Chains A and B, each alone.
Chain A
């Protein structure tokens, strides 16, 4: 126990926590920038849909599935050349953001697609009957109506990213996972490991609660 409360360890814990937030935040943000439009397109481009392009839809779906079926740890190693190209290094927190982003974008695309598909088709028809363009339908109907589901989907994504970010610790990515492995496992300091796990639990719990409460606030379907 005393090691955990030593100033050095405490500082390491705080630094790792910030690194984790940084990795998850940036990867989640960029992943959403890519995944959101991709998800919307996947949800609206099958035959007879707003942006009907069945062939493109099929190809993108295949790419997304391929990316999602690659085990994360293999992805991290496989894309080291790309990581080096983008960040100049393959080790450290910034380098870890590259595989995290690449893993999160297709994941986000799929959860957004599911959220958009949850919007009642009747609303699309109503908007079309008003003379809305496909872009207006996305902007004024699909995204706003799917917002509660999208919020829950992004919450799920962030929680998964926190898990992944702990995994990039194994390849020197920094963050809480890195701390846990180097101190808790390699130096055999179980109390550090315990502290890391506790912080992760609190973090995940916090993110989930925040996401749930936002989604509830956005959801106007139930009487309150």
Chain B
């Protein structure tokens, strides 16, 4: 539900803007120089949640570190809210980082500070008074649901609770932008859901723009308004999450998407599949429904119009950014009706593919 709020809050103006960014790491000993990022152009709209997805080594860690100047680009421009990050001298960069919060895969909490002490750290660094720190920290711990863990040390907290402390800490200095570096990769699926819900809430309630990197498509699906796919240091595809999910263009994107929506036929069926009609074999048709067509009760419409029996071989239905998207493999015993099925499906706004006969 919050998708609509957050995508509504997202304006077209980019708060993070990368233009022609290259990053090359200098040669080390016998190792040749490594170009981690090529010609990166990326806009993160103000108020949006944008997810960058890529395999390990694709360059996503480097990319997110460019935004708060932990890495500097070899060439190109990195702007956050109009400020050219790479042009800042050290002191100004430190100042700017206070408006860019960051959370980490392994939480990076100080073991010898309590939850309170960890959230207080960025405020101490900023030179905020003790009284003001108290006023800021307690509501933040409340916001992330840890008001009963104020004096607990990280070792006494679960992974999800640690990341909540991390989020509260990242928000302590009222940042405009929150960077999330694989923040849920060390968490179990249930805790991941909770942390992602918290990120959505923070995005919606505080209007903080979120840039996250992940290797899990499920994270993108759950939380991101927009997605950028990075492969071998290049952004190969970028767009609204629903569009990228339902119409992946690049091979890497298709790979990621199939991890969520994938419909590989079961092996026993795939083995029997033939390309031409044979006696006693049914036609197998894959129907992909998305966008406008997905909203109507098309399956019953289809059977009624064709006056044919349809079996369901495989189905996967998902909701992305609050809109349904699915893939259905149906079997049609009456092979003669196949052309009619294809035509009617197209009329209903479904994408069709004849997989074969089995």
A interface residues with partner B (beta carbon < 8 Å): 120, 122-123, 125-133, 136, 140-141, 144-145, 147-148, 218-223
Tell me whether B102 is interfacial, beta carbon within 8 Å.
Answer: yes
Q: Is the CB of B155 within 8 A of A220?
A: yes
Tell me whether B106 is interfacial, beta carbon within 8 Å.
Answer: yes
B-side binding surface: helix, strand, loop or mixed? Answer: mixed
B34 CB to nearest chain A CB (Å): 15
Residue from B95, B100, B111 in contact with A221 in the complex, judged by beta carbons closer than 8 Å: B111
Stretch at the interface among B117-125, B271-279, B317-325, B328-336: B117-125
Residue from B106, B125, B154 in contact with A131 in the complex, judged by beta carbons closer than 8 Å: B125
Q: Is the CB of B125 within 8 A of A222?
A: no
Given the known interface contacts A140-B124, A220-B153, A220-B155, the answer about A129 and B68 at a Cβ–Cβ threshold of 8 Å is yes
- Listed by A's residue number, 7 A-B pairs whose Cβ atoms lie within 8 Å are A123-B108, A126-B102, A131-B122, A131-B173, A145-B112, A220-B153, A223-B156
Tell me whether B206 is interfacial, beta carbon within 8 Å.
Answer: no
Tell me whether B94 is interfacial, beta carbon within 8 Å.
Answer: yes
Tell me whether B260 is interfacial, beta carbon within 8 Å.
Answer: no
Task: Give complex CA distance A25, B119 in Å.
Answer: 38
B interface residues with partner A (beta carbon < 8 Å): 68, 70, 93-98, 100-102, 104, 106, 108, 110-113, 121-122, 124-126, 153-156, 169, 173, 179
Given the known interface contacts A131-B126, A220-B155, A223-B156, the answer about A145 and B110 at a Cβ–Cβ threshold of 8 Å is yes
Given the known interface contacts A122-B108, A136-B125, A145-B111, the answer about A131 and B94 at a Cβ–Cβ threshold of 8 Å is yes
Chain A residues within an 8 Å CB radius of B124: 140
* Additional A-B contact list (8), CB under 8 Å, known A125-B104, A144-B112: A122-B104, A129-B100, A130-B98, A130-B122, A131-B97, A131-B122, A147-B112, A220-B111
> Residue among A130, A141, A219 with the most chain B CB within 10 A?
A130
Q: Is the CB of A123 within 8 A of B122?
A: no
Residue from A123, A128, A222 in contact with B97 in the complex, judged by beta carbons closer than 8 Å: A128
A223 CB to nearest chain B CB (Å): 6
Q: Is the CB of B155 within 8 A of A131?
A: no
A134 CB to nearest chain B CB (Å): 9
How many inter-chain residue pairs (CB < 8 Å) link A and B?
70
Q: Is the CB of B156 within 8 A of A133?
A: no
Chain A residues within an 8 Å CB radius of B100: 129
Chain B residues within an 8 Å CB radius of A130: 97-98, 121-122, 125-126, 169, 173
Determine the residue in chain A with the shortest Cβ distance to B106.
A122
Residue from B70, B106, B111 in contact with A129 in the complex, judged by beta carbons closer than 8 Å: B70
Residue from A122, A132, A218, A222 in contact with B112 in the complex, judged by beta carbons closer than 8 Å: A218
Given the known interface contacts A123-B110, A126-B108, A147-B112, the answer about A132 and B125 at a Cβ–Cβ threshold of 8 Å is yes
Task: Give complex CA distance A145, B94 in Å.
Answer: 22
Task: Give complex CA distance A141, B156 in Å.
Answer: 20
B338 CB to nearest chain A CB (Å): 58
Chain B residues within an 8 Å CB radius of A218: 112
Determine the residue in chain B with the shortest Cβ distance to A130.
B122
> Residue among A120, A129, A147, A220 with the most chain B CB within 10 A?
A129
Chain A residues within an 8 Å CB radius of B98: 130-131
Q: Is the CB of B121 within 8 A of A131?
A: no
Q: Is the CB of B110 within 8 A of A223?
A: no
Determine the residue in chain B with the shortest Cβ distance to A147.
B112
Task: Give complex CA distance A132, B121 in Å.
Answer: 10
Chain A residues within an 8 Å CB radius of B126: 130-131
Determine the residue in chain B with the shortest Cβ distance to A136.
B125
Chain A residues within an 8 Å CB radius of B93: 131
Determine the residue in chain A with the shortest Cβ distance to B97.
A131
Chain A residues within an 8 Å CB radius of B102: 126, 129
Chain B residues within an 8 Å CB radius of A147: 112
B150 CB to nearest chain A CB (Å): 15
Q: Is the CB of A221 within 8 A of B155?
A: yes
Q: Is the CB of B110 within 8 A of A144?
A: yes
Listed from nearest, the 6 A-B pairs whose CB atoms lie closest are A131-B97, A126-B108, A130-B122, A131-B94, A129-B102, A122-B108
Determine the residue in chain A with the shortest Cβ distance to B118.
A126
Residue from A127, A145, A220, A221 in contact with B125 in the complex, judged by beta carbons closer than 8 Å: A127
Task: Give complex CA distance A14, B122 in Å.
Answer: 51
Task: Give complex CA distance A84, B154 in Å.
Answer: 52
Q: Is the CB of B94 within 8 A of A133?
A: yes
A133 CB to nearest chain B CB (Å): 6
Task: Give complex CA distance A220, B111 in Å.
Answer: 6
Determine the residue in chain A with the shortest Cβ distance to B102.
A129
B78 CB to nearest chain A CB (Å): 15
Chain B residues within an 8 Å CB radius of A123: 108, 110
Q: Is the CB of A131 within 8 A of B108?
A: no
Q: Is the CB of A140 within 8 A of B68?
A: no
Task: Give complex CA distance A130, B122 in Å.
Answer: 6
> Residue among A125, A131, A140, A219 with the most chain B CB within 10 A?
A131
Chain A residues within an 8 Å CB radius of B95: 131
B244 CB to nearest chain A CB (Å): 28
